[in-house]
Amino acid sequence: MNPIITTFDNRLHRDQVISLWKEIFGYEADHNAPQLVINKKLEFGDGLFFIALNNQAVVGTIMAGYDGHRGWIYSIAVSPNYQKQGIGSSLLAFAERKFSELGCMKINLQIMEGNEVVENFYLANEYQTEKRISMGKRLPENINNTEQNDGADA
Ligand SMILES: CC(C)(COP(=O)(O)OP(=O)(O)OC[C@H]1O[C@@H](n2cnc3c(N)ncnc32)[C@H](O)[C@@H]1OP(=O)(O)O)[C@@H](O)C(=O)NCCC(=O)NCCS
């Protein structure tokens, strides 16, 4: 399939992206609430949030971030009915081109341990598994609902 990959438009795509992420990720951690994630990304204003469209319908997403040192990939998701048709790879290639245009030299990303489908997807797209320990710390003052929980996150 040849999807149209374009920049996320809050007015046109917000509700569909929220539904897709709820279906695919089902995140429980407050700081991963789709509405909050979208608001924060738009507030940041780097324009590195892309979607795949099939006849105006959102069928995939990818969020990217470049900090001047590394490019990071987040929230890649393809609607279950559209998986295994090359859409995820098209989204990734689009983000890679944007990173390259920005001068980025290396892309990193995190995957939940045991998520072999996603690991295989990235291996098929010429990424290598690098043995690292991933660490994180939440800043509750910036999360709307600061109640802590054990939801999986990144
Ligand atoms: C990972 C994901 C985005 C891949 O999207 P996709 O559009 O299905 O991927 P593609 O069709 O571009 O697949 C490219 C290659 O990746 C590999 N791959 C993709 N899905 C695979 C699967 N279910 N099992 C094994 N390999 C797979 C294959 O090598 C595939 O090439 P092939 O179709 O020629 O065999 C999609 O499966 C998804 O949304 N998963 C759930 C969300 C998720 O967990 N995201 C990661 C958050 S960290």
Residue 46 to residue 134: CA distance in whole angstroms: 25
66: CATH: 3.40.630.30
Tell which one of 23, 74, 96, 121 to mutate to probe ligand 1, the residue whose CB is within 8 A of the most ligand atoms.
121
User: Rounded to two decimals, what is the model's pTM?
Assistant: 0.93
Mutation test residue for ligand 1: of 83, 87, 107, 120, the one with most atoms within 8 Å of CB:
83
The tally of domains found in the chain comes to 1
Residue 152 lies in a domain: no
Inside any domain, residue 147: no
Contact 51, 60 (CB under 8 A): yes
> Residue 47 is part of which domain span?
4-142
Contact status, residue 17 vs residue 33, Cβ threshold 8 Å: no
Q: Model confidence over 16-56: pLDDT tens digits?
A: 999 999 999 987 788 889 999 999 999 999 999 999 999 99
Residue 125 CA to ligand 1 center (angstroms) comes to 10
Q: What is the pLDDT of residues 68-119, one digit of tens each?
A: 999 999 999 999 999 999 999 999 999 999 999 999 999 999 999 999 999 9
Residue 35 lies in a domain: yes
Q: Nearest Cα to 115, choosing from 34, 7, 25?
A: 25
- In a domain? residue 21: yes
